[in-house]
Structure 1
Amino acid sequence: MEFDVVIGLEVHCQLNTKSKIFASDHNSFGDDPNQNISVLTLAHPGVLPRTNRAVVESAVKLGLAFGSEINKINYFDRKNYFYPDLPKGYQITQDARPVCVGGAVSFMLKEGREYKKHTVQVHHIHMEEDAGKSVHGIDGTLLDYNRAGAPLLEIVSYPCISSPEEAAGYLAEIRRIVRNLGISDGNMEEGSLRADLNVSLKPKGSSELGTKVEIKNMNSIRFLQRAAEYEVKRQSEILSKGDQIIQETRTFIPETGVTEGMRVKETANDYRYFPEPDLAPIEILEEELLKYKAELPALPVELFDRFVSEDGLLADQAFVLAEEKEWSDYYLETCQYTENKKAVANWLTSTIRGELNESTIGISDYPIRPKKLAELIHAVESGAISHTAAQKVLNHLKETPELAVMTIAEENGWVLTQDSGSLGTWIDEVLEKHSGKVQEYKKGKKGLLGLFVGEVMKLSGGSADPKEVNKLLIEKLK
């Protein structure tokens, strides 16, 4: 039998607000256990929560980026269940009326040599608090409440994703967007972004959904794709034998690449939701929505389209530059000082990105700032220095970024010379050294011209103008 793959994701995004969602406790990762707690976090009797306005603002910004409908009147609900690291015995969340409804996430996926646009429909986004952390050991379980009350946005997609690759691309795009908006660091290793993966299969062309299986707490895009691939294979084999899929919760084992059953999932959980009586409703004003909408940065997929269609960049270059806000900001700022956008992209995606991949700093901390890179590009473009010399100048600029490009080039003898006397001397020396190749050239092996030009450039230390060298060589070799 052939099957259609149906995947949905529930993505939990931890926000980078200074304090928690309903308490003033510090909201940060990596602190010693139970440092960022208070009577509110520990649910002492008589304490009252208060909504962190910055959390609501972050939710609205994300909803606007997705094109969601924003509910202007918001209230919270109690979701009742017991867990050791949930001190209150209930979670404050949103149930019937989430802050953002609908919307979509578009992103680019490379398929073969081409990039294709995919779109995943979003059901809703709601605000809620995180639980604490249980640390299980030989001697028992330890509880760390630092994360209890941390602000979360849960992004729930429709079951409309049709492949593991698309699921991974969707999660990667959410990470790009929350980073671009500045509402989360999106660090999956630290749990700032994690996803529950729902996978089901149905007979090809059928409109009826199959029984879904949930894989909990995926904290890696690569692991999520591998888990989905395994689950598709596992379910396909079961259904092909005529057996039934059990609705259950499973976990992914990275070391083996398989999913394992944790518990059979109930058809409906009785969380006994009811409106949170200790929190007043929150109103989002129309003028606030207009302000947030005006402040929205361009989304990665929008930047990709712009870089390809308007700036003429290669798709691979556009994808790299649009992937992270710091890179797109650097590129766009450099283009304010030069119209040679292709040269900017070439320097950033090859030379500079290669350097930074081997270092501990990012493009935001790169010592050569956009205006200086544009100055270097202009020096090459005007014929003042060669591209080879420009690379040497770049290395000097990393140590002395305050110096002018041409100052460095002149002090080191890297300015291109068009002096026919000097060029003629270098050319004669090269042709005499490679006299055998000269005869081959004259017998029709014209491709050797590049060899001669390269040898002259070496001899000149990169100071010879390659265009002029090429012209003089052709004349001498007639």
Structure 2
Amino acid sequence: MTQTEINPSDISEEILNSYETVIGLEVHCQLLTESKLFASDRNLFGTEPNTNIGPLTLALPGTLPKVNKKAVEYAVRIGLACDCSISRRTIFDRKNYFYPDLPKGYQISQDKKPICENGGVTIATKGTDGKLVEKLIRFHHIHLEEDAGKSVHDGSETETLLDYNRAGTPLVEMVSEPDLRSADETGAFVTEIRRLVRYLGISDGNMEEGSLRCDVNVSIRKKGDTELGVKVEVKNMNSIRNMMRAITFETKRQISLLESGGRIQQQTRMFDVETGNTYGMRMKETMNDYRYFPDPDLSPIIISDEWLESIRSAMPALPKELRKKFTDIYGIPAYDALVLTDTKEIADYFEEVCAKTTLYKSASNWLMGPVKSYLNEHDGDILLFPVKPADLAALIELSESGLVSNSVATQKIFPVMLAEHGKSPKEIAVSNNWLQNSNTNELETLVDEVIASMPDKVAAYQKGKKGLLGLFVGEIMKKSNGTADPKLVNQLLAKKL
């Protein structure tokens, strides 16, 4: 049968579970330098086509490349973050292929001696018991290279437009070992890489703009086999969700093909977002097709001890370090630490709150609850969040001390703090008469009134319907405008009833 005749959806769960998926990634990450990797042209997304170009980008005769030092430092930075070995002497190579979006007819890349080797990233996924399971995904290497231009079809079936703005943009390509075993693991891996490059400040990691792109190598083998199967490369995945969809489909397609007696071809495939299917584009190139050789116009890069140490000393705290700090110092659960280190800005905000209160778990709950809900509704930028960390800490202290109830804190005071800046949580509570009432005499009067107004419910409670206690508490809270101390109310009710 041909590949187009296979229906992957017909494969049974039993057969699917008898195979293992093996996945390796090539993650291309554009670097946030002001200029390109070998030219002074601007490195800027979103400008008019063919405006960030110059003689070298267009490969005009007589032009010579010069390495962008900042791009080299950024590559070393990601290498250090991933525990890679940093090559002290590294060179650039020419990778020869002929596409219209590559003006020179070759791409300047690294083959024989990449700038970073080995290392890896630890991912966390949920196990079958719901607990987080950590796994190290190794890197083969990380290398520097220039990006190609962009072909724009613009709906035409006969013409292709070329935008060379992106040509020469500095990239790091991060090549993993085939350590990934599922779409979920792969999603967690790319998420962690995106988180890392944002923490390091070397890339915005925006997949929708193409500054982070993935080529996914997928193969299958029978469970228990050690030999790798024939891999298929799915190119230019520009969202984590679509990448996971492509892996799921490609796994089923390959299993269906083998189960029906077919043979998997080593090829490059594309992903159709509408159908969720992959389709063949071309047969996969081999290393010999590119005819790599050292670029004669570029000298080797020597990374001295002093230069390496200066890069290392400027490194920020990384997610894995912060997660350990949050669990060890602040005593919050591992899951909380994972959520709170999702972005550097959230982690920084949490630490600022913790500098003003020792109620660390409550601070974590607030950030993962009301604060996160607000951010989800307002573009998710904590830098624009209207409540200062010190004010949130004060609200947490106010609630945990019993001066206001949790519901008043979350449903009344917090919305006012979001809308009206400048007032402290206690000022808001006092001015609105929201401080919790712990006056026994006043509360006893309210309890008596509620009990007197519901004789039938009192009789039912006394006959054994103890669940009605919540009804009485609710009525008292209404009468007190939410200010009654729930603990004291429960004690008074239990005594009276």
Normalising to structure 1: TM-score of the pair? 0.95
Alignment of structure 1 residues 127-142 onto 2, 5 Å:
127-136=144-153, 137-138=156-157, 140-142=159-161
Q: Which of 321, 326, 338 matches 2:357?
A: 338
Structure 2's unaligned 5+ residue stretches are 1-14
* 1:169 maps onto 2:181 in alignment: no
**In 2, Cα distance between the equivalents of 1:293 and 1:442?**
71
Q: Which residue of 1 aligns with 2:405?
A: 386
Work out which of the residue numbers 419, 424, 441 in structure 2 matches 1:421. Answer: 441
Report what 2:492 is aligned to: 472
Show the counterpart of 1:122: 139
* Cα distance change of structure 1 residues 288 and 445 upon mapping to structure 2, 3 Å threshold: farther
Shift of residue 375 of structure 1?
Answer: 0.5
Unaligned runs of 5+ in 1: none
User: What is the SS of the residue equivalent to 2:141?
Assistant: strand
What are the superposed Cα offsets for residues 146-196 of structure 1, whole Å, 9 maximum, x if unpaired?
101111000001122222222222112111111121111111111011111
1:124–1:156 contact (8 Å) kept in structure 2: yes
Segment drifting more, 142-151 vs 293-302: 293-302
Do structure 1's residue 50 and structure 2's residue 44 form an aligned pair?
Answer: no
Which residue of structure 1 lines up, in the alignment, with residue 7 of structure 2? none
> What is the CA–CA distance in structure 2 between the aligned matches of 1:81 and 1:324, rounded to whole Å?
38
Deviations 1:183-229 (A, max 9, x none): 11111111011111111123332332221111111111111111111
Q: Does residue 1:447 correspond to 2:463, yes or no?
A: no
Displacement of 1:418 in angstroms is: 1.8
Match of 2:97 in 1: 81
Higher alpha-carbon deviation: 266-275 or 452-461:
266-275
Q: What is the CA–CA distance in structure 2 between the aligned matches of 1:361 and 1:7, rounded to whole Å?
A: 32
For residues 288 and 193 of structure 2, what CA distance do their matches in structure 1 show?
28
Distance in 1 between residues matched to 2:306 and 2:490, nearest whole Å? 64
Amino acid at match of 1:264: M
Q: For residue 352 of structure 1, what is the aligned residue in structure 2?
A: 371
Q: 1:208 aligns with which of 211, 215, 227?
A: 227
Residue deviations 1:296-339 (CA, integer Å, cap 9, x gap)? 34443444455456544345433321222222221122111111
Question: 8 Å contact 1:107–1:301 — kept in the other structure?
Answer: no
Distance change >3 Å, CA 238–CA 447, structure 1 → 2: same
**C-alpha displacement at 1:20, in angstroms?**
1.2
**2:298 counterpart residue number:** 279
How far off its partner does 1:44 sit?
1.8
1:77-476 equivalences in 2 (<5 Å): 77-112=93-128, 113-136=130-153, 137-138=156-157, 140-308=159-327, 311-391=330-410, 392-476=412-496
User: How far, CA to CA, are the matches of 1:273 and 1:131 in structure 2?
Assistant: 17
Identity, in percent, stands at 52
Moved more, 126-135 or 441-450: 441-450
Between the two proteins, the alignment pairs up a number of residues equal to 477
- The answer (yes or no) to whether the contact 1:457–1:463 under 8 Å persists in 2 is yes
- Check conservation: 1:108, 1:301, Cα contact below 8 A: no
Choose 301-310 or 99-108, whichever is displaced more: 301-310
Give, in whole Å, the separation in 2 of the partners of 1:229 and 1:368: 42
2:57 maps to 1:30: no
Which moved further from structure 2: 310-319 or 455-464? 310-319
Matched, 1:4 2:20: yes
Once the two structures are TM-superposed, the CA of residue 250 in structure 1 deviates from its matched residue by 1.0
Name the amino acid aligned to 1:393.
Answer: I
In structure 2, how many angstroms separate the alpha carbons of the residues matched to 1:421 and 1:153?
70
Conserved? CA contact 2:404–2:436, under 8 Å: yes
Alignment counterpart, residue 29 of structure 2, candidates 6, 10, 13: 13
The alpha carbon displacement at 1:448 in A equals 2.6
The change in CA–CA distance for 1:471 and 1:92 in structure 2 (over 3 A counts) is: same
- Distance across 1 between alignment mates of 2:285 and 2:76: 32
- Structure 1 residues 268 and 22: CA distance shift in structure 2, 3 A: closer
Distance, in Å, in 2 between the alignment partners of 1:331 and 1:155 is 31
Which aligned runs of 4 or more in structure 1 are off by greater than 6 angstroms?
A: none
Stretch moving more, 302-311 or 445-454? 302-311
